[in-house]
A = this chain, B = another copy of it.
Amino acid sequence: MNIYDYMVEKGLLAKKAARKLAYISTETKNNALIAMSEALVKNSDFILAENEKDITNGKNNGMSQGLLDRLALNIKRIEDMAQGLKNVALLPDPIGEVTKMWRNPDNLQIGRVRVPLGVIGMIYEARPNVTVDAAALCIKSGNAAILKGGKEAINSNIAIANTIIKAAVEAGLPEGSIQLIETTDREAVNVMMKLNEYIDVLIPRGGSGLIQTVVKNSTVPVIETGIGNCHVYVDEEADLEMAENIVINAKTQRIGVCNAMETLLVHKDAAQKLLPKLGERLKSLGVEIRGCEKTGEYIKDIVSASEKDWETEYLDLILAVKIVDSIDDAMDHIYIYGTKHSEAIVTNNYRNSQRFLNEVDAAAVYVNASTRFTDGSEFGFGAEIGISTQKLHARGPMGLEQLTSIKYIIYGEGQTRK
Contacts and interface: CB of A to CB of B under 8 A. Distances in A.
Interface of A: 19, 22-23, 102, 104, 106, 108, 110, 115, 117-118, 196, 200-201, 215-219, 221-222, 239, 242, 245-246, 248-250, 253, 335, 357-359, 361-370, 372-374, 378-380, 390-393, 395-396, 405-417
Contact of A221 (B22, B222, B379): B222
B367 A412 contact: yes
Total copies of this chain within the assembly = 2
A376 to B, nearest CB: 11
Given A392-B392, A407-B395, A245 B117 contact: no
Contacts of A393: 392-393
A239 B196 contact: no
Nearest to A201: B392
Report the 7 A-B pairs with minimum CB-CB distance, sorted nearest first. Answer: A369-B412, A249-B416, A391-B405, A372-B417, A393-B393, A242-B414, A368-B412
A392 B414 contact: no
Contacts of A248: 416
Contacts of A246: 414, 416
B23 A370 contact: no
Contact of A407 (B216, B372, B396, B408): B396
A108 B405 contact: no
A94 B361 CA distance: 17
Contact of A413 (B110, B221, B368, B412): B368
Nearest to A113: B357
Nearest to A370: B416
A25 to B, nearest CB: 11
Contacts of A414: 239, 242, 245-246, 368-369
A199 to B, nearest CB: 11
Identify which of A248, A396, A407 gathers the most chain B CB atoms within 10 Å of its CB: A407
Given A361-B407, A373-B417, A374-B408, 18 more contacts: A102-B380, A117-B391, A196-B216, A201-B391, A201-B392, A215-B219, A221-B392, A245-B414, A248-B416, A249-B417, A364-B408, A364-B410, A369-B410, A369-B413, A370-B417, A379-B408, A395-B408, A396-B407
A391 to B, nearest CB: 4
The SS class assigned to the A binding surface is mixed
A270 B305 CA distance: 78
Contacts of A415: 368-370, 373
A22 B412 contact: no
A345 to B, nearest CB: 10
A200 B407 contact: no
B373 A108 contact: yes
21 contacts: A104-B373, A104-B378, A108-B369, A110-B380, A217-B219, A250-B416, A362-B407, A364-B408, A365-B409, A365-B410, A366-B410, A367-B410, A368-B415, A369-B411, A369-B412, A369-B415, A373-B410, A378-B417, A395-B405, A396-B406, A396-B408
A19 B334 CA distance: 12
Nearest to A243: B414
Contacts of A369: 108, 410-416
A391 B253 contact: no
A12 to B, nearest CB: 13
Contact of A118 (B201, B372, B374, B391): B391
B110 A407 contact: no
A253 B416 contact: yes
A410 B362 CA distance: 12
Contacts of A245: 414, 416
A23 to B, nearest CB: 5
A29 to B, nearest CB: 15
A248 B115 CA distance: 30
B361 A22 contact: yes
A104 B221 contact: no
A110 B249 CA distance: 19
